[in-house]
């Protein structure tokens, strides 16, 4: 109702404000169709713009001098009223033409013998002047506004008139009622979002004027681009506290209802047009690029980090994400990891070609043998040694004791294990082999120590082989090592001090690479295999990312492929106030006491 009132007020302002401009243009065009010299006319024949009717022949450039009546009736008869002239000595006299010079002067034929003008004026259909049309539009607008207000005020029609439609299922739920009552102590009625619902009819004119000055005035409604934010958005942020709009370098904040339509029952998904209204505009993207150039990079959130998964470190690109994009399948840029040739910096030595190749493993491995989906089926769970590697890489260092293996994960623990073999053999003999008598355990330990010393000579040799040996390592006497040590998969460095533990580079396996886009593996399993998107069969380097190119995605996500390719299917647009920075913020200098 406030909208209709503000619209009528704005229309009245527009008519009054531009009245003189419209009249000036109208009569300027009419004068341009005649000679530049001012025409001669009688003052009583002048057609004034303040009249309500004008001759129907005006558009032809030959309006009659009489013009229509005040009621809009055509009064045209003849071009003149002949006058009877009786000269001295004449009895009957003769009729003479009285047409003025402005109308062409006296005609050649003159009046008929009965005194009738020979030039009859054809009848026309008078039409209303611009002033009359404007007056009617203003009156009708005012009448319609009064009628709408009366309908809205009446008890029987008020609710149907004011209510634009049912609220969304979320805002109409009992949960929303409880949350709103807990926050405000009031019932969740219209006043939960609309402040005007708390006030009476005496405040409507001020609300209408305020609305006409902001997003509800006709100029804002017809302009291209999204509507700016206003007071009601603060109501949205009361509950959605972490849903601030977008990045800090946007030219202006936009209203929540611009993308999220309310009073439609089930809220529809955000339309692609709302995204491309900005991202498809070169002007807005240029403004966003200029704003971002002067901002601290720590102000920009690392979106979609919804859990504690390891994320590949990255730095915001120069110019930000301000490429002009109309559709995904036409001008979306290549994924940044592929575009910039980013490599995996993981120190783990892994070769997909060997593990996936036929005849190179005890049994043929498939992708699902190692890569498991999370509970929602969206992303892959991290690879762990205990679950995925121990079946083949058992860390068995003693051939005569196959069940006793080295611990994995901590080099200090591995070193302590090797230097306490007597204890390890004793526990293994008691727990696994079932030896309980003390004498039998001592004999068992001596036998195991004798075997291990026969393989590795000294304890130092054993430690060296465990940490630094790989498949090609041999003893000094040429004997090949029985154990493929840590160096097979890890980068192992010599200790920095004597009798110290060797250093093993930590393994960092990111679980997410494209953090600005969401993905769901469970939706890509019908008719598609892993290697259709991830080319791993010939990969021999750990640094290979195996991410699919955007060309691979476009094969399906395009009008030709028939799969949806709207922006929100991959991207989020809200900025959380509790975000994780892209890179750690610089530490503040510590102030020393003076």
Q: Give the mean pLDDT of 394-421.
A: 88
Distances (CA, A) of 192 to 177, 185, 188, 548: 10, 11, 5, 47
Q: Give the mean pLDDT of 465-478.
A: 69
Query: What is the Cα Rg of the chain in Å?
Result: 45
Helix axes 438-456, 421-431, angle to 10 degrees: 130
| pLDDT above 60: residue 13 | no
Q: Find the length of the chain.
A: 594
| Angle, CA of 284, 286 and 292, to the nearest 5° | 100
What sign for the dihedral angle of Cα 238, 244, 245, 250?
positive
| Angle, CA of 190, 196 and 200, to the nearest 5° | 105
Q: Shortest CA distance to 298 belongs to which of 66, 579, 515?
A: 579
pLDDT tens digits for 493-546? 988 888 888 999 888 777 778 877 888 888 888 888 888 899 888 888 888 888
| pLDDT above 80: residue 305 | no
Report the mean per-residue pLDDT for the chain.
Answer: 78
Beta bridge partners of 311: 512
For the chain, percent of residues with pLDDT exceeding 90: 10
Surface-to-core class of residue 109, CB atoms within 10 Å of its CB (0-12 exposed, 13-18 middle, 19+ buried): exposed
Residue 215: phi, psi to the nearest 5? -70, -10
Least confident range from 150-154, 185-189, 411-415: namely 150-154
pLDDT tens digits for 81-107? 888 888 887 778 888 888 887 777 888
Residue with tokens 């699919």: 548
Strand ranges (E), 175-278: 244-245
Whole-structure pTM value: 0.61
CA 218 – CA 199 distance, rounded (Å): 25
Report residue 71 CA to chain centroid gap.
59
CB-based contact 259:295 (threshold 8 Å): no
pLDDT tens digits for 112-157? 888 888 888 888 888 888 888 888 899 999 999 888 777 766 656 6
When comparing pLDDT for 46 and 80, which is higher?
A: 80
The residues near 113 (Cβ < 8 Å, ≥ 6 apart) are 95
DSSP string, 14-37: HHHHTHHHHHHHHHHHHHHTS-SS
């Amino acid at each position: 109702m406030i909208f209709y009132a503000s619209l009528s007020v704005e229309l009245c302002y527009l008519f009054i404000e531009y009245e003189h401009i419209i009249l000036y243009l109208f009569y300027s065009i009419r004068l341009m169709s005649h000679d530049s010299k001012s025409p001669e006319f009688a003052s009583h024949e002048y057609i004034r713009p303040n009249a309500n009717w004008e001759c129907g022949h005006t558009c032809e450039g030959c309006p009659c001098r009489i013009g229509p009546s005040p009621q809009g009736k055509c009064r045209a008869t003849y071009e003149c009223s002949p006058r009877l002239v009786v000269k001295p000595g004449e009895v009957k006299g003769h009729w003479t033409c009285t047409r003025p010079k402005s109308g062409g002067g006296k005609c050649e034929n003159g009046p008929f013998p009965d005194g009738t003008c020979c030039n009859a004026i054809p009848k026309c259909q008078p039409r209303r002047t611009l002033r009359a049309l404007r007056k009617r539009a203003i009156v009708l607008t005012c009448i319609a506004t009064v009628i709408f207000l009366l309908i809205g005020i009446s008890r029987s029609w008020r609710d149907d008139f004011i209510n634009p439609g049912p609220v969304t299922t979320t805002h109409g739920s009992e949960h929303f009622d409880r949350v709103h009552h807990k926050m405000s102590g009031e019932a969740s009625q219209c006043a939960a979002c609309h402040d005007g619902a708390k006030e009476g009819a005496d405040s409507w004119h001020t609300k209408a004027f305020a609305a006409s000055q902001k997003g509800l005035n006709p100029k804002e409604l017809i302009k291209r681009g999204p509507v700016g934010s206003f007071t009601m958005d603060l109501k949205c942020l009361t509950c959605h506290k972490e849903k601030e709009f977008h990045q800090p370098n946007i030219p202006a904040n936009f209203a929540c209802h611009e993308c999220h339509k309310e009073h439609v029952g089930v809220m529809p998904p955000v339309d692609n047009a709302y995204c491309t209204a900005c991202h498809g505009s070169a002007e807005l993207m240029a403004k966003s690029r200029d704003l971002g150039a002067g901002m601290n990079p720590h102000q920009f959130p690392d979106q979609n980090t919804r859990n504690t998964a390891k994320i590949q470190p990255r730095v915001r690109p120069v110019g930000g994400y301000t490429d002009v994009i109309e559709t995904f399948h036409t001008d979306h840029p290549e994924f940044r990891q592929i575009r910039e040739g980013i490599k995996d910096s993981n120190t783990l030595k892994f070769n997909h070609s060997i593990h996936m190749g036929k005849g190179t493993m005890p049994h043929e491995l498939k992708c699902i043998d190692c890569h498991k989906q999370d509970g929602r089926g969206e992303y892959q769970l991290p690879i762990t040694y205990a679950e995925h590697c121990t079946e083949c890489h058992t860390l068995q260092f003693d051939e005569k004791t196959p069940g006793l293996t080295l611990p994995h994960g901590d080099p200090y623990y591995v070193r302590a294990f090797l230097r306490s073999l007597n204890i390890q053999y004793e526990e293994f003999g008691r727990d696994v082999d079932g030896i309980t008598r003390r004498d039998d355990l001592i004999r068992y330990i001596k036998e195991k120590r004798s075997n291990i010393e026969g393989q590795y000579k000294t304890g130092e040799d054993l430690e060296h082989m465990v940490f630094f040996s790989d498949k090609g390592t041999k003893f000094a006497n040429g004997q090949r090592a029985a154990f493929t040590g840590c160096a097979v998969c890890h980068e192992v460095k010599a200790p920095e001090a004597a009798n110290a533990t060797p250093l093993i580079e930590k393994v960092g396996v990111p679980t997410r690479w494209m953090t600005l886009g969401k993905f769901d593996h469970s939706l890509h399993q019908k008719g598609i295999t892993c290697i259709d998107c991830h080319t791993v069969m010939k990969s021999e380097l750990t640094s290979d990312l195996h991410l699919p190119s955007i060309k691979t995605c476009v094969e399906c996500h395009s009008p030709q492929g028939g799969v949806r390719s709207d922006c929100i299917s991959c991207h989020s647009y809200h900025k959380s106030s509790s975000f994780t920075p892209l890179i750690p913020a610089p530490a503040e200098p510590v102030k020393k006491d003076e």
